[in-house]
Structure 1
Amino acid sequence: MKRHAMMVCLLMAALSVCAQTHQKDSLRVINLNEVEVISTRATGTTPVAFTNVSKEQLKKQNFGQDIPYLLTFTPSVLTTSDAGAGIGYTSIRVRGTDATRINVTTNGIPMNDAESHSIYWVNTPDFASSLQDMQIQRGAGTSTNGAGAFGASINMQTQGISSQPYAEFSGSYGSFNTHKETVKVGTGIINNHWGFDARLSNVQSDGYRDRASADLKSYFVQGGYYNDNTTIKFITFGGKEETYHAWDGLDKETLMEYRKYNPNGEIEDDKGDVIGFYDNQIDYYRQTHYQLLLNQILSSAWNLNVALHYTDGDGYYEEYKNARTLKEYGLQPFEANGETIKKANLVRRKLVNSGFGGGIFSVNYNNDCINASIGGGLNYYKNTHNGKVMWVKNYLGNLDPDHEYYRNIGRKTDGNIYAKANWAVGSGVNLYADLQYRYTRYKINGNNDKWDWTANPGHLQPLAIDEDFNFFNPKAGAFWNINKYNKVYASFSVANKEPTRNNYTDNLFAARPKAERLFDYELGYTFQKDWFSAGANFYFMDYKNQLVLNGQLNEIGEPVAENVKSSYRMGVELMAGAQIASWLRWDVNTTISRNRIKDYTEYLSDYNESWKELYNENGSIAQTTRYIGSTPISFSPDFMANSLISFDYKGMNASLQTQYVSKQYLNNAHQEDCTLDAYCVSNLNVGYTFKLRGIKSVNVGITVYNLFNETYESNGYASGSAIYEGKSQTKTADSKLLYTSNYAAYYPNAGINALAHITLSF
């Protein structure tokens, strides 16, 4: 099987000058005057790199895995999964940039968490079942609402209301006791003006790794009113998730012994030996979205889009912690058997309760020569963070059942306004301009959940952050339709982005994080005929103070980032597609890139030979610097390639999708012992569609993931330390550096596994 996988990868590499099919770029207008937020979308003459993913493409893959895994075929996209099977906590990277730099919107409304800047797909499970389409813009893209796009933006459009009544049931079952059930119904148009849709979904999986279970439930409801010039829709959707932690990776030795091992929830005895696992080591979160959308046609050339939104979220994660210092949790040491107990096993719960609301708008003008928009948005976010100690082993003091040991509140105001125009000047040439002003103010007040060991006496780290940012993000470009077969475009964009919450709270002892700036240069070419299409996109992304992942994790398993003064990402994305026969199609794409920090210095924590952390005389953590120079950016492969072979004949359909990803470094120190190995993974889907009496259509099939049983890891982390000679608790001038030590851990992915699926449409 390994040989077959290698042959597929080699064949893809040989076709690396090809690319994905050029799809139609305009939004598909269905039977009604739908609410379509087009001002943040790219069209066929917008000079940016983008890919449209249709409802039909999503449906062919949507059998249980999260949305990132439904996008793996699109250029420059990488996905990761903590649980190893693509369900639960998953993430996406584009051109090497992580999720905190990927702007995500639904109907133009921001989806990224305002503090973390991430979107946690686990909070809206099976959302793909309610989407009309998606557009991924790579690079800075067009002006959008919400967090800055520093590697990509993902624009999702929810489904339109069908003109006819319908009902649909889909279900799947397979490996790791994974199953998904989805029910969808719609009224069609009532009295020529009204329509309603609803969806309920349930997704559950035991996960590939031990105890890495996921229990996900979600809903989607919309109602709309239509007349000749006005469309009003109310949409609400949400999800509830309960997942067992799989946040910690495995070292290479453990991977060799038992790949499915999950260290989260370990219960240790007094000697440090694992004697069991905590049953309630879970992450629980509920999130509900409300959207009120208005589309008003003002004339044949003018229309107005307005949307109000609110997102309510609350939840917690609970975990068993071994040998924790009691004073970190506001608890006093206690006496037991004549001994003072300063450390004990305990259970803690960290809670959040957030609200995010605001509005967006756009005024759009379109005639034969000019397509222009003025738009923007204003949003406000508040999130309360607090922590409680639920239980302490053998504790003899007075423990409040809800003992709270920290609390802080984050608040953020985010506003932007933009103006953009695409002007057809003649001879197939379009000029594009896009100007955006964005303002943010971010405040955190209270105590952090981390203990300040450098203070005397020690205490929880105080949070008193109040920063505002003013960003100007101009973009300009040109598109030339040379003839009906050949097109070329070029663009230059400036993007700015503020730090995330974690950039502040994970680095309180370091320099305060700085805002990032990106200068994005894009040059593209496409060729298209009836049966064949090809294209190339060249990009150079020049960063100032880019916040790059340094390979380390914070206490809850989230990646830690640091500013680097000067860095870049450059490469070429190549795409092609061929309709070989009426029943057979082949699409391929590849990304060849170079991702570098120009002048990097690594900071290593100092340790003595007994592995106790050293402190300087002033109480600050002692560190050693190591100059690296030019170095690859972590988690940024130099080569990626995708192949998709599709077969469709008389109700039978099949597809073979293959992705190859080259080696990735886990940190920025260019260390060969801290890398993710290259991997090549293929997925096979086979289905058959037919009709039965009383049923519009029946589709049955099976998807085999990791067809050739590749052993691989798609994510991990690494850290380094400087080891000194001697037992002194302070680093001295004559201390001798013995060596540096590196630790790497990995998240294993599942081997061959399968899901059988069925869809009934009425």
Structure 2
Amino acid sequence: MKGFIFFGLIASPFYFAQNTVQDSIKTKEIESINFLKRLPVTKEIINVEKDLGSKNLGQDLPILLKNQMSVISTSDAGNGVGYTGFRIRGVGGTAINVMMNGVPYNDSESQGTFFVNVGDLTSSASQIVIQRGVGTSSNGVSAFGASVNVLTKNPEEKFYVKSDDSYGSFNTYKYSAEVGSGKFWKDRLSLMGRYTTIHSDGYIDRAFSDLNSYNFTALFEQSNTKLRFMAFGGKEKTYQAWNAIDRKTWETNPKFNNSGAIYDANWENIVDFYDNETDNYRQNHYQLLWEQNLSDNWNLETTFHYTKGKGYYENYKQDAKFSKYNLPDLIIDNQTIKRTDFIRKKWLNNNFYGGVSTLYGKFENLDLNFGLVGNRYEGKHYGNVSGVYFPEIFEHEYYRNNGTKTEFSGFAKGIIKINQFELYGDLQLRNIDYVTSIVQQGDGEGAVHDKNWLFFNPKAGINYKINSGKLFFSYAHAHREPNRDDLFANPEIQPEKLHDFEAGLEKSFGAVSFTTNLYYMNYVNQLVLNGQINDIGEFIRVNSGKSYRMGIEIGALAKLSEQWNISGNFTLSKNENKDFKNETETGFENLGDTPISFSPSVIGNVLLNYAPTNNFSLGVQNQYVGSQYLDNTNNKELQLNDYFLTDFNAKYTLNLKRTEIDFKFLLNNIFNKKYVNNGFVYDQTPYYFSQAGTNFMFGMSFKFK
């Protein structure tokens, strides 16, 4: 089976979407996408409705992207709902610059991306732009693996009412309602709103998810002015599933989850589970996008944004010391009580706001972009405990610390056409201030830092146009600051530096589109995952000195007939630390060149689609992921096995008068493969995040227009 798949991979590998935007403000958005297509960088432009619509039944966005080039998606709960993430070219989410309409989405302090906070985001998106490598300068932090920009859709021009409902394995269901006003007020204004609720019990024991999300968009268009206001966000409650399980447990009871476990007095047997061992968070985003045509050659886009986030995660802390939570020992009946059971809540209350402005200039043989960015993040971290057996201890605050991060950056980039050549230049300057303070000291909570970084990130490239395609080469130099956890673990940790070289070919042969890309990413002080996690399931990173990622990415889309098409992608890479030094209890040991953690050397996908009629389609998606290590020590005992997955989807559309009904079916992992794609190392023992076997989703979509 694998041999057949790899023949297909080599013969016709990658899906390279080149769809135009189809919404109400077409002209400038098409120009913006066309400008991106011209850049000598590796990229995918995904049309959400066409490419992901048949699979969008409730799973999170990272899961829906799992068959894209060099992508591996992960799920804590095992079935793609709740806490999910992705890696691109082996690089984790903290090094992937995620944006919403060009506004940074990564958390400013952790640099993580938490899609659980914006459930059903895919239903609000029109396009997703993925740039692998450093890519072009953007409004978020520097990309050290990729950048992903989610472009939300605009209101439609005519009135409609829509409902998306689905149900599937593990009691997973989704209810969504959406309404669009169409254009009114002399065709200048249009509105759109959506509300979604998603629930899943999860594949892992008790790993339930309750996600509620919304999106509201108002679009005003008149003459040379376009204003778009968006409010979107969500509220999530998920049972914690970030502890994972050791290999022996995975082999015998892969669904086991020890989060919330309550043990007997001897700490030998689990006697119960705390039913509210949960993560609770609400996040609201507000964006005002202003587009102004200044002349035939110049266009200005300015975005003001504000994000409010607040929430906590809750744990049952058994037999904990009073002193750990800044509480005095209790004296009852002349007996001193030093320990008891607590309910602990650790809070995060943050604000993120700023402005992004880009000036576009378009001339006969020259395109220019100038950008200015100013963002500020304010985060409050605090925790409290309540006594399980002592009700007089209630919501006692035992620590509080703050963090503020301010960034000002600017970029200038342009592309000039000279005969068959296009020359590209890009200069970016970033200034970041990050200050942390302790208001109330807690046990190991917080630290005091006052950091400043000034980064200059130049980029350059060249295209050479050929018949129905182009050749390109680019170089990018980038820097990236460490995140909050990096600094707290090691105040002397160094920023990352990256020299990224990309060379590629894009070519069409009639019904076949082909692309191939060579890359070499040379890191200095790359922050790599050491395979360990902290107490809230976040992976710990260390400077690895010098390291590199190099590889080839190949892909194609072939239209075999009116009914059949096949697409695929294949990544072959080498990812190594140079002279890696491993920290032990007695010092450092030099392990020489070692593989970078979570970086398989082979990733491949083959997608086959059959559409016997215009309203009926069937699809099969195959993915192969090679073996990968959980840490950087090259220890075979800490290696995840390779795996091969096959998914199936079907869609049938029933067109009635003014009503369109879609029936969708998704069957994941149809061969019931037992596999792991994520984990960590604790005390030299591998821990796994189990993934679900065969599972399904069935959905119906009604649209009245």
Q: Does 1:201 align with 2:165?
A: no
- Which residue of structure 1 aligns with residue 467 of structure 2? 483
- Which residue of structure 2 aligns with residue 730 of structure 1? none
Deviations 1:622-669 (A, max 9, x none): x44322111000000010000100111222111101111011100111
* Cα offset, 1:156, TM superposition: 1.2
* Cα offset, 1:161, TM superposition: 2.1
- Which residue of structure 2 aligns with residue 409 of structure 1? 402
* Cα offset, 1:209, TM superposition: 0.6
* Cα offset, 1:201, TM superposition: 0.6
Q: Which of the residues 608, 611, 619 maps onto 1:645?
A: 608
* Pairs within 5 Å for 1:668-747: 668-695=632-659, 697-720=660-683, 742-747=684-689
Partner secondary structure for residue 373 of structure 2: strand
Partner secondary structure for residue 383 of structure 1: strand
- CA gap of 1:400–1:450, structure 2 versus 1, over 3 A, is closer
- Which residue of structure 2 aligns with residue 612 of structure 1? none
Q: Is the 8 A contact 1:229 1:297 kept in 2?
A: yes
Q: Is the 8 A contact 1:683 1:706 kept in 2?
A: yes
Does 292-301 or 11-20 show the bigger shift? 11-20
Cα distance between partner residues in 2 of 1:642 and 1:129: 24
Q: Does 1:331 align with 2:327?
A: yes
Q: Which of the residues 536, 555, 564 maps onto 2:535?
A: 555
- Which residue of structure 2 aligns with residue 756 of structure 1? 698
The one-letter amino acid paired with 1:690 is L
Deviations 1:324-374 (A, max 9, x none): 233121123345798754443321000111100000001101122111110
Q: Is the 8 A contact 1:499 1:513 kept in 2?
A: yes
Deviations 1:522-565 (A, max 9, x none): 00012212211222100000001111000000011110001111
Q: Which of the residues 142, 151, 166 maps onto 1:148?
A: 142
* Cα offset, 1:28, TM superposition: 1.8
Partner secondary structure for residue 494 of structure 1: strand
The one-letter amino acid paired with 2:644 is C
The one-letter amino acid paired with 2:367 is N
The one-letter amino acid paired with 1:217 is N
- CA gap of 1:576–1:462, structure 2 versus 1, over 3 A, is closer
Q: Which of the residues 446, 458, 465 maps onto 1:474?
A: 458
- Which residue of structure 1 aligns with residue 476 of structure 2? 493
Alpha-carbon RMSD across the aligned residues, in angstroms, is 1.9
- Which residue of structure 1 aligns with residue 83 of structure 2? 89
The one-letter amino acid paired with 2:399 is Y
* Pairs within 5 Å for 1:73-472: 73-190=67-184, 191-272=186-267, 273-334=269-330, 341-393=337-389, 395=390, 399-426=392-419, 428-446=420-438, 451=443, 460=444, 463-472=447-456
TM-score by length of 1: 0.89
Deviations 1:733-758 (A, max 9, x none): xxxxxxxxx21100000000101111
Q: Is the 8 A contact 2:118 2:234 kept in 1?
A: yes
- CA gap of 1:9–1:415, structure 2 versus 1, over 3 A, is farther
- CA gap of 1:309–1:409, structure 2 versus 1, over 3 A, is same
Q: Is the 8 A contact 1:447 1:463 kept in 2?
A: no
Does 133-142 or 532-541 show the bigger shift? 532-541
- Which residue of structure 2 aligns with residue 736 of structure 1? none
Q: Is the 8 A contact 2:398 2:440 kept in 1?
A: no
* Cα offset, 1:29, TM superposition: 5.1
Q: Is the 8 A contact 2:387 2:393 kept in 1?
A: no
- CA gap of 1:137–1:462, structure 2 versus 1, over 3 A, is closer
Partner secondary structure for residue 63 of structure 2: helix
Quick one: percent identity of the two aligned structures? 37
The one-letter amino acid paired with 1:237 is F
Higher CA-based Rg: 1
Structure 1: 5+ residue stretches without partners: 1-6, 452-459, 606-622, 721-741
- CA gap of 1:447–1:551, structure 2 versus 1, over 3 A, is farther
* Cα offset, 1:418, TM superposition: 0.3
Q: Does 1:545 align with 2:525?
A: yes
Partner secondary structure for residue 189 of structure 1: coil
- Which residue of structure 2 aligns with residue 634 of structure 1? 597
Partner secondary structure for residue 43 of structure 1: helix
* Cα offset, 1:301, TM superposition: 1.4
* Cα offset, 1:21, TM superposition: 3.4
* Cα offset, 1:321, TM superposition: 1.8
The one-letter amino acid paired with 1:748 is S
Structure 2: 5+ residue stretches without partners: none
* Cα offset, 1:24, TM superposition: 2.0
- Which residue of structure 2 aligns with residue 504 of structure 1? 487
The one-letter amino acid paired with 1:490 is F
The one-letter amino acid paired with 1:750 is A
Does 748-757 or 625-634 show the bigger shift? 625-634
Cα distance between partner residues in 2 of 1:239 and 1:61: 21
Cα distance between partner residues in 2 of 1:226 and 1:713: 49
Deviations 1:680-702 (A, max 9, x none): 1111001211123451x111121
* Pairs within 5 Å for 1:3-18: 7-8=1-2, 10-12=4-6, 15-16=9-10, 18=12
- Which residue of structure 1 aligns with residue 504 of structure 2? 524
Q: Is the 8 A contact 2:399 2:442 kept in 1?
A: no
Does 595-604 or 84-93 show the bigger shift? 595-604
